[in-house]
Amino acid sequence: MTIGTILHVDLDAFFAAVEQRDRPELRGRPVIVGGGGPDDRGVVSTASYEARAFGIHSAMPLRTAGRLCPDGVFLPVDGAKYARESGRVMAIFRRFTPRVEQVSIDEAFLDVSGSEALFGPPDEIARRIKAAIHAETGLTASVGVATSKLVAKVGSDLRKPDGLVVVPAGEEAAFLAPLPIRRLWGVGPATATALAEFGVRTIGDLAGLPPDQLTRRFGRHGADLTERAKGIDRDPVREPDAVKSIGHEHTFDEDTSDRETIERTLLGLADGVAWRLRGAGRLAGTIVVKVRDSGFHTVTRQKALVEPTDLTEPIFLAALELARPEVRGKRIRLLGVTATHLDEPDQLALFAEDVSRRHRVTEAADQVKRRFGERSIVRARLLGRGLPAPFERDPSSPLARRGLPEGGPEPDEADGDGDGTAADESPADDPSL
Ligand code: TTP
Ligand code: MG
Ligand code: MG
């Protein structure tokens, strides 16, 4: 039996697990991380598995969580701490292979095809990585091992927490077939609803549909969907050198010309980019902003930073400066913020408890808080408006590159063929933008 050499590793209940590790009295208790507590208007970032037993999950309004679990422990988001832990885990991965592609704050793909002589077969490497993470950070991770990123990703999610799923080569389609369609990476709620019209409930149902039927309904994504349902995904793990940029985009449910919405979205995107830069130990030299209006006209503008940074505030301010002239008088459909001209990864900084650097990070976060209100609340409000967790969507990720939506609680675009109509008929121009 041969097995694939691609691993997908994802930490379990990441933010909540870090808090339970640091405060042993919280272990075994329902812990909800996000915003300012059960009366806050924001949403849940994540919940411990104990809290999930009450039906609580990411992106749920905090007030709902408070009702479901009045005795839960509600904690604010400590972004700098989670970014540091993320960096430590990513550094563990790099000891096993240089071919690590980080895809969000708590997960990465690893290609271990060159590592077998040193560390054993891929499933053994997966066990070693889980053990190293646990021994060195006190956190647990779930791992999928397969021949492709797609199947490895589905595998890591299947037996959470502390899971290990190995899908042998040749068994991908059979492995996927009985799973509900929402398990297929790249199928969001809207696509799942559209597929239900065809009677598709499982991934196997999708694999069995005539491809031309899907192409008629989903355009060019149709053929891609069939392939994915069969477990076919040729996208390689992209090595660190291949990561030339880190970015996030958001598509509004309804096109908007509202200044506050636009600024908050840019802040959320900048914050997500900064987190990921810190997690990867990189600094941004240039900030690129992408603006798409309701007529699908897209512009990108960029600006070199005076000093390379991994902090939210300078990225946000640069993004704001770049976006302002481009959003004036328009209804905006999509905004994106990307960091490019990244410096080389600084391995030492990931390990060293560089106090002054962390101090700067905290200081900057506080400044943003003072200017724009409680940061965690801003983030929570963003999520409360149906915006994605900024670090969960990256335009350079394989799915986004192919124009497929990533899975998750937020609405996706696959079914919409993107009608750019705005429901809001208010005047678009805001001279102060
Ligand atoms: P996930 O890996 O999606 O979730 P998780 O690690 O909390 O739980 P599990 O993987 O075991 O299912 O996201 C990683 C972190 O990202 C999560 O701990 C908190 C943050 N996050 C948000 O802030 N908002 C969100 O909507 C999501 C999905 C995640
Ligand atoms: Mg996780
Ligand atoms: Mg994750």
Kindly report, residue by residue over 188-222, the tens digit of the pLDDT. Answer: 888 888 899 989 999 999 999 988 888 888 887 78
Separation in Å, CA 89 to CA 9, 33, 93, 126, 367 = 10, 20, 7, 13, 28
pTM: 0.65
Confidence of residue 350 (pLDDT cuts 50, 70, 90): very low
Is the Cα torsion angle 175, 181, 187, 188 positive or negative in sign? negative
Residue 164's nearest CA partner among 49, 277, 3 is 3
Is the Cα torsion angle 309, 313, 318, 319 positive or negative in sign? positive
What is the 431 CA–ligand 2 centroid distance (Å)? 42
Domains of the chain: 1-166 (3.30.70.270), 173-229 (1.10.150.20), 243-396 (3.30.1490.100)
Q: Whose CA is nearest to atom 28 of ligand 1?
A: 58
pLDDT at 339 over 50: yes
Active site residue 227: no
The backbone region for 337, taken as left when phi is positive above 0, alpha when psi lies in -120 to 50, beta otherwise, is beta
Give the SS3 label for residue 320.
helix
CA 202 to CA 186: how far, in whole Å?
14
How wide is the angle at C-alpha 422 spanned by C-alphas 421 and 428, nearest 5°? 130
Say which residues have a Cβ less than 8 Å from residue 198's Cβ, sequence separation at least 6: 205, 209, 213, 217
416 or 287, higher pLDDT: 287
Question: CB count, 10 Å around CB of 259?
Answer: 15
pLDDT at residue number 9: 98
Mutate to test the pocket of ligand 1, among 21, 46, 86, 385 (most ligand atoms within 8 A of CB): 46
CA 67 to CA 54: how far, in whole Å?
10
Ligand 1: nearest atom to the Cα of 59: 26
Strand partners, 286: 304, 340
CA 52 to CA 65: how far, in whole Å?
10
pLDDT at 432 over 90: no
Which tokens sit at 123?
């499933």
371 or 405, higher pLDDT: 371
- Between 47-61, 244-258, 378-392, the lowest mean confidence (pLDDT) is in 378-392
Residue 414's nearest CA partner among 184, 243, 207 is 184
CA 228 to CA 151: how far, in whole Å?
9
pLDDT at residue number 281: 74
Strand partners, 336: 249, 290
Ligand 3 is a single-atom ion; what residues have CB below 5 A from it? 10, 104, 106-107
Residues in the chain: 433
- What one-character DSSP code corresponds to residue 61? B
Question: CB count, 10 Å around CB of 198?
Answer: 14
Percent with pLDDT over 90 in the chain: 57
Ligand 1: nearest atom to the Cα of 106: 14
Residues in the ligand 1 pocket, defined by CB under 6 Å: 10-15, 45-46, 58-59, 105-107, 160-161, 389, 392
Give the SS3 label for residue 49.
helix
Long-range contact pairs involving 239-244 (C-beta distance under 8 Å, separation at least 24): 239/98, 239/99, 239/100, 239/101, 240/98, 240/100, 240/280, 240/345, 242/101, 243/101, 243/102, 243/280, 243/342, 243/396, 244/340, 244/342, 244/396
Confidence of residue 364 (pLDDT cuts 50, 70, 90): low
What is the 428 CA–ligand 1 centroid distance (Å)? 35
Helices and strands in the chain, H and E counts:
18, 12
pLDDT digits (tens, 9 = 90+) for 62-76: 999 999 999 999 999
pLDDT at residue number 80: 81
Confidence of residue 422 (pLDDT cuts 50, 70, 90): very low
SS3 sequence of 64-117: HHHHHCCCCEEECCCHHHHHHHHHHHHHHHHHHCCCEEEEECCEEEEECCCCHH
Which tokens sit at 230?
């069969």
